[in-house]
Structure 1
Amino acid sequence: MGAVFVGVRHHSPACARLVAATIEEQQPAYVLVEGPADFNERIDELLLGHELPVALFSYSDQHASWSPFCDYSPEWVAIIEARRCGAEVRFIDLPAWHEAFRDVSNRYADAELRYTEVVDRLCVEFSVDNVDVLWDHLFECETDPVGMAEYFDLLRGTADADEGDSAREEYMARWVRAAVADAGDRPVVVITGGFHTAALKAKLDGGTEWPEVPERERGASYLVPYSHARLDAFTGYQSGMPSPGYYQQVWENGAQRAADWLVESVATRLRERQQPVSTADLIAAHTQAGALARLRGHENLARTDVLDGLTSALISEDLTQPPPWTRRGTLQPGAHPALAEMLGALRGDKVGRLHPGTPAPPLVNAVQELLRTHGLDQEGKVALDLTDAEALGRSRILHRLRVLRIPGFTRTSGPTEGAQPRLDEQWTLRPVEERLAALIEAAENGATLEEAAGAVLERRSRHAQLEELAGILFDAVLCGISTLSGRVKQSLNEGVKDTGDLAALGKVLSGVLGLWRHDRLFGTRRDPLLGSVIDVGTARVLWLVEGLHGGPAPADPNRLKAMAAARDAVLHAKSALSLDVVDVTGVATRVSNDVQAPPDLRGAALGLAWALGSKPDVRKVRTIEALGDWLAGLFAVAREEVLASPDLVGVLDELVSAMDEDEFLVALPALRLAFSYFPPRERETIAATVLAHRGVEGSTRNVTRLTVDPVAVAEAMAIEKRVDALLVKGGLA
């Protein structure tokens, strides 16, 4: 009988129905399906009784990919119908880890981008916006669609296969030839993406031996739960079809009832969000959709007929962006709320579940046992005292899960990079549907939780920028992964020596200092390599700062953080430094007196010298230009010293009070940044000093608890000044 080819568009109800009808009619010996051939020995796992959607997740050393199935996937229907009629089922495509899939994360991503020219031509011919609308127009809204094979032949006739496609098609053709030879006088049904069908038909001559399945050195394949949200093209998935929730309704109930469901779902979602939707609106939407369907020659309502009808009935103002169904892509910020609810309804909310007997990778069982043993498999809040060895162990488990991005484990407080240490952590635990899928997918990194988290951090560190390495090191320490931290420390040490990026250097130095200072909590034990990073980093900060020149510029919080880190290195890690305090003070004094240095660095340098014991002459503050930026630098580095100096606070009060409205408006952004370095209690201390300087008695709380935005106050003052000037000009003052 030979081969009967059915080219399909992935995740298409029309194609799924065609596949079912073809298998029922042909009663084949074999049904060959585009899918990973290395899973053939385990194909029964697909039939355990899962709730779809699910996906076949495959990984190796270099690559990971998914082969998703939903109820209306032609590939899934082919497997179900083949078993029903007693046919042998085989996946015939190369394994997902093969070089042919080097740039493919989803096996069933259509090749439409490669035949854009002919699709564009067809869209113009049929007056539709894009390939999704074209497909609906030709096939999904028809009760008995025709011409599907010709459609795919036309598309492939204008496109050239790349190396990956050629390798895949040659491999699939070998399966087809072998199955045809083995089937004798019974047919073989071949289900592949329509892009490949014409090429396979042309490759029926050749050897008939069953092809070997390529083997991989490392990696595995497992079924994972999937969801409509992950399938949706409007959220970024490059599938054959968008709007999985809608097409689920088309598959189960037909196009007309799916249209009714969509209108009802959008109305319900909008009403739940307190958006007004009347019965008249819904009648208008139905009427508009029906009129559009007739105008467009649709036998049944198409998806865009309904969406355009809803848009016309529910949205009266101009849209800030085109409706997303007129193009493939995600909804942009600022979109009309009705559009967002339409997409939410289209997407659906179905989440797949695996049968309890589905094989899982070792990591899944290892994590579930860890969670059970350490009491982390419950819902609620968890408080951890990190000075307790058992609590520290639980913390490391949670941090490893965080690094792997396993959902359901959220840290709400705890130690942070470069900050004063917290000796406790707070976590919120909650069960989530997506956790199992995330654990299975994380298994590509290792069989144990520590191994998997270490592999993720190792991968992050390979191409990380200098400032990212400090965060990776901090994560490694929180996870208790010491094997990685040595390599990252060495990379940090090498990067610090050569960097000219003061902001990145400040972030690194601050983070490493936190680990050095709090070695008992983090277990770093005054690590010599960390000490080397601190020594080299501090010297590099001072060298870069002394070479920076330029006119007034806005204060840069990142480089001020570097100056604060240099201060902390001298004060708290002196034993690690080759520099003497005198040397550091000398650099700070020179920069503070350098009129060519940026104002914020001059202020920070003065603060550094002050923090190291060299008290400044507060009278010189009166000569400072760009006062707000200079203060930002001073306060960032010498906040405590400023609080203890009423003389300086008094001088600053006089300088700010002497500003006219225009000068104050210009200085306001920098002044706001400067005083943001003081927490509320310390602002009250400054307020008390100011009141004492002025000889005024009063509540500092009332002074510091302004309920209006300071910018609004300044703007009001400016308006009042203009009004006063107009009154004077008009002789009305």
Structure 2
Amino acid sequence: MTVDAPAADAPVAAVGSADASAEPRVRVLGVRHHGPGSARAVRAALEEWCPTVVLVEGPADADPLTVFVGREGMEPPVALLAATTDAPRRAAWWPFATFSPEWQALRWAAEHGVPARFIDLPAGVVLAREPGAGAPDGQAPDGDASGGESGDPGAGVGVDQDDAADADEAGGVGGPDASDVRADPVAALAHAAGYDDPERWWEDVVEQRSGDAAPFDVVADAMAALREAFGQEGAGAGTRGVAGDAPADDHERHEARREAYMRQQVRAALREGHERVAVVCGAWHAPALRGRLPAAAPDARLLTGLPKRKVLLTWAPWTASRLSLRSGYGAGIESPGWYEHLFTCDDDVVARWLVRVAGVLRERDLPVSSAHVIEATRLATVLAAVRGRPLAGLAEVTEATRAVLCEGDDALLAHVTADLVVGERLGTVPDDVPTVPLEADLRATARRLRLPFEAAPRTLELDLRKANDLARSQLLHRLALLGVAWGTPDVARTRSTGTFRETWSLHWRPELTVALVEASTWGVTVPAAAAACVVAGAAGADLPAITRLVEHTLVADLPDALDALLPALDERAARDVDVTHVLHAVPPLVRAHRYTDVRGTRVEALARVADALVVRACAALPGAVTGLDDDAARALRTDLDAAHDAVRLRDDADVGALWTAALRGVAGRTDVSGVLSGRATRLLLDAQELTPEAAATRLSRALSRGTPARTTAAWAEGFLDGGGLLIAGDRRLLTVLDDWVATLREDDFTDVLPLLRRTFGGLPVGERRALADAVAHLGAGRARAVEDDLDLDPELVSAPLATVLRLLGAPS
């Protein structure tokens, strides 16, 4: 893995052509990304050789950011973030953990005052590739998305899926083919060594090495053999495609360009006069960078004319869980927490790990003693010996944890995996790291409001009567308008605790940094950006959408945006003739008006608009309910319920009287779907605009024998939905319903049974139980009444009774 010094007048293509006995000027350290053994070996090699420059695989245009590696406040896991300035949603991540060999190389350089550079293709070139171009298995170029689900702001281009020692998943036992080797060369080596699990092979051979010499030469030789066997020769791979022997697909061309660019950077370092050049790269690329480098001209031609986009580059906090394979990051590992333990722990690795496991279980009030830890340590060691492994690995430790500490309980083992094996620690970056002004404003505001950025979800209870809590609420609402979902409101808990309280679930994820970059196009501060985003979103929005925007704008305290929205709201309300749009628009306006007492915002115009919409809804409702089938009626019933709750919340006598009259009109009609007429009757009963006796009479009339069974079932569905306790507590209503069900003909009962099951199945369990108890008591009471009404003569019934008893086999 050495390159000899060139003569002073030698052309660039002749780098490495000097006398083989001379001191090597270049050492290539082929590593596995996020490997503690590789990180330890790289650190030791750098301490021994003391290079004058350190070249690290990574985007070359991120070189200015290397100065922050040694700064106070830079704590991994962190990631280099590159986002295109014209479309920030297209972004790439290069994550680093404490145990990443590249990170240790950068830290060593920072601690010793040695320049460090990234030598891979610039991020602007990587992001200029078309999504999915040439990537295997239909994935994005250079790997999977950055850990985000489809549609997340962070979903974009990942990095370095195919680097040498990225053991993503095991190769097949039956032997790898060319595509398998390119995707996971470690699996091919593991298969050759007789392992069916590449993770276990790499851990045995590399990660658990402590004082031994680093296996860089051996690994590089193995990679060279793989590349030669599968048609991608070591140092010559980068020249293919220049003439004749072109790479087979776009992905191979991209890999060839990457290695050509790396060689160019090595040549540049040598031309600058550096005596000792250390190169830290994925082991797959090591054969292309060691030994005598090929001529520079073919590499230059291969790199000519590459498309490039303008990008923003910065450091961003990352999480341990995003380093795991299941996050979707291509160069991930299954157990970042375990690997960090391997890197930071020098002795008694298994025992110290199991002590930490015991601590996690004790936090859950489980009785784990020192004897448990000792026994689990012994079991893990014995398992490793039985399996012929040099030391106990994660598999043995996990089995010992399950058997001894968790007593076979996989649920407890899942807690250990989440807390320790994977983990949720969030890295930090210094405040002076260059970023967009919007993110800087958010971080300053969050620091002032004492809102920490945490990777683990937590619940935040806010009392809006307190100034700091009110400011927190406004910040989270503004971020939600910008699409930066740091907090998710718990609507159910918020409504149950009144208008003075809000409940949020906070969870900071790395891809939210990309969302901030994207949102920065609206402004440089959170309030200004949110206001601009709202105003732009109102253009072309329909009435329900603009009313929701008004509601969110009020709770976010964006008065300038509200002033721009109100004229648009008036205009939409005057033109919209769709009654469903009108009904949709009423609740957000009324809820927004309700916030005046708590937040002190100016909403005088909202009450006027909301009242006008209720008047229009009342006028349009008779025509809107005509001719609807039951399915359409169910959809309208949801809007009717929401508007009814809003009118009651509005608590205006004139508006309430008008709404009640409209409901009475719907409830009294026989030419509309029973779902709506039954629902209107129920709403009137709940509002005490209809007596229980009158409601029972209407129910009895709707369920009379002259009405088709499906029609009566629809009426019952509308009346009973969400009100099991009402029926259970009113004997008259229950009797009417019970008589109707009892007198149904068999065909009619079969016809309406699905509707009844849907109606009663939607009730909460407690209400269903109360309703069942009420029906049981009703049946028992009727049986006693029938028995009391019977007047039998004992002498007349004695003979038939004796005959029946004899037939049943009873003694005479």
Sort the TM-score into its range (normalised by shorter chain): 0.5 to 0.7
**CA distance in structure 1 between the partners assigned to 2:567 and 2:220 by the alignment:** 56
Give 2:419's aligned residue.
Answer: 344
Which amino acid in structure 1 is aligned with residue 105 of structure 2? A
For residue 683 of structure 1, what is the aligned residue in structure 2? none
Question: Does the CA contact (< 8 Å) of 1:589 and 1:609 recur in 2?
Answer: no
SS class of match (1:300): coil
Q: Which residue of 1 aligns with 2:787?
A: none
Query: How far did 1:381 drift?
Result: 6.8
Q: Deviations over 1:594-619 (max 9, x none)?
A: 5xx5x534523666899999999725
Q: Give the match for residue 77 of structure 1.
A: 104
SS across alignment from 2:69:
helix
Q: Deviations over 1:617-646 (max 9, x none)?
A: 725233274767634523679x9xx99xx9
Any conservation in 1 of the 2:535–2:561 contact (CA below 8 Å)?
no
CA-CA distance at 1:522 after TM superposition: 6.8
CA distance 1:125–1:42, change in 2 (3 Å): closer
Please list, as runs of the form range in 1=range in 2, the aligned pairs for 1:445-594 lying within 5 A after superposition. 445-446=519-520, 447-453=524-530, 474-481=551-558, 508-509=584-585, 511-514=587-590, 523=603, 525-526=605-606, 546=626, 548-549=628-629, 559-565=636-642, 592-594=670-672
Give SS of 1:71's match. coil
Q: For residues 381 and 119 of structure 1, what CA distance do their matches in structure 2 show?
A: 48
Determine if the alignment matches structure 1 residue 174 to structure 2 residue 264: yes
SS at match of 2:296: coil
Among 250, 267, 284, which residue is 2:358 paired with?
A: 267
Specify whether residues 153 and 456 from structure 1 end up closer, same or farther in structure 2 by C-alpha distance, changes over 3 A only.
Answer: farther
Amino acid at match of 1:181: R
Could you say which residue in structure 1 is the equivalent of 2:78? 54
Aligned residue runs from structure 1 range 87-486, under 5 A: 87-96=114-123, 98-100=127-129, 103=140, 104-105=145-146, 110-111=161-162, 115=180, 130-143=197-210, 144=212, 146=215, 147-153=218-224, 157=230, 162=251, 165=255, 168-183=258-273, 186-198=275-287, 204-207=294-297, 220-233=312-325, 238-254=330-346, 257-277=348-368, 281-314=372-405, 335-348=410-423, 350-355=425-430, 358=433, 361-363=436-438, 366-367=441-442, 383-384=463-464, 396-401=474-479, 424-427=499-502, 442=516, 444-446=518-520, 447-453=524-530, 474-481=551-558
1:17 to 40, 47, 50: 40
Residue 5 of structure 1 and its aligned partner are, at CA, apart by 2.8
Q: Secondary structure at the match of 1:19?
A: helix
| Residue matched to 1:634 | 719
In structure 1, the residue matched to 2:23 is none
Rounded Cα–Cα distance in structure 1 between residues aligned with 2:759 and 2:296? 77
Equivalent-residue separation in structure 2 for 1:66 and 1:134 (angstroms): 28
Distance 1:448 1:180, change over 3 A: same
Whole-angstrom distance in 1 between the partners of 2:322 and 2:432: 24
Question: Which string of whole-angstrom CA distances, capped at 9 and with x for unpartnered residues, describes residues 416-468 of structure 1?
Answer: 8xx9997x4335799x9969997797355222012444688799999999998
Structure of higher RCO (CA pairs closer than 8 Å, 6+ residues apart) = 2
Q: Which residue is 1:703 aligned to?
A: none
- For the 8 Å contact 1:155–1:195, the answer to whether it is kept is no
**Gapped regions of structure 1 (runs ≥ 5):** 320-334, 677-705
User: Secondary structure at 1:11's aligned position in 2?
Assistant: coil
The 8 Å contact of residues 628 and 668 in structure 1, kept in 2 or not, is answered as no
How far did residue 109 of structure 1 move?
5.8
**Separation in 1, partners of 2:548, 2:314:** 32
Instruction: Indicate if the aligned counterparts of 2:70 and 2:111 stay in contact, CA closer than 8 A.
Output: no
Partners in 2 of 1:172 and 1:458 — Cα distance? 47
Shift of 1:570: 9.8
The structure-2 alpha-carbon separation of the partners of 1:353 and 1:338, relative to structure 1 and needing over 3 Å to count, comes to same
Q: Percent identity?
A: 25
Q: Is the 8 A contact 2:76 2:98 kept in 1?
A: yes
In the TM superposition, what whole-angstrom CA distance separates every residue of 1:108-140 from its partner, at most 9, and x where no partner exists? 564356735866666666565644334213321
Q: Can you give the 5+ residue segments of structure 2 that lack an aligned partner in the other structure?
A: 5-15, 17-25, 132-139, 148-157, 169-178, 233-248, 453-458, 785-804
Structure showing greater radius of gyration is: 2
Deviation at 1:225, TM superposition (A): 3.8
Does residue 35 of structure 1 match 2:58? Answer: yes
Q: For residue 77 of structure 1, what is the amino acid of its counterpart?
A: Q
User: Does the 8 Å contact 2:664/2:681 carry over to 1?
Assistant: no
Task: For residue 31 of structure 1, give the secondary structure of its aligned residue in structure 2.
Answer: strand
Structure 2 distance, partners of 1:438, 1:450, is: 17
Amino acid of the structure 2 residue aligned with 1:68: P
Task: Give the deviation of 1:344 after TM superposition.
Answer: 2.0
- Cα distance, 1:340 vs structure 2: 2.5
The alpha-carbon deviation at position 247 of structure 1 amounts to 1.7
How much does 1:345 deviate? 2.2
Deviation of residue 189 (structure 1)?
Answer: 2.5
SS of 1:240's equivalent in the other structure is coil
Cα distance change, pair 514–64 in 1 and its aligned pair in 2 (3 A) = farther
Q: Structure 1 residues 266, 487: CA separation in 2 closer, same or farther (over 3 Å shift)? A: farther
Normalising to structure 1: TM-score of the pair?
Answer: 0.67
Question: How far apart, CA to CA, are the structure 1 residues paired with 2:703 and 2:29?
Answer: 85
* Cα distance, 1:376 vs structure 2: 8.8
Deviations 1:271-291 (CA, angstroms, capped at 9, x unpaired): 332334455544443333223
Shift of 1:177: 3.3
For residue 200 of structure 1, report the CA deviation from its aligned partner.
5.7
Cα root mean square deviation, aligned: 6.2
TM-score by length of 2: 0.61
| 8 A contact 1:140–1:302 mirrored in 2 | no
CA gap of 1:283–1:45, structure 2 versus 1, over 3 A, is closer
Question: Structure 1: how far apart are the matches of 2:503 and 2:497?
Answer: 20
Q: Letter of the aligned partner of 2:500 in structure 1? A: E
Alpha-carbon distance in structure 2 between the residues aligned to 1:433 and 1:96: 28
In structure 1, what is the equivalent of residue 176 of structure 2?
Answer: none
8 A contact 1:259–1:306 mirrored in 2: yes
- Matches of 1:730 and 1:36, distance apart in 2: 94
CA distance in 1, matches of 2:376, 2:761: 52
After superposition, the Cα gap between the structure-2 partners of 1:570 and 1:270, relative to the gap in structure 1 and judged at 3 Å, is closer
Q: Which amino acid aligns with 1:92?
A: I
Tell me the amino acid that sits aligned with residue 99 of structure 1. A
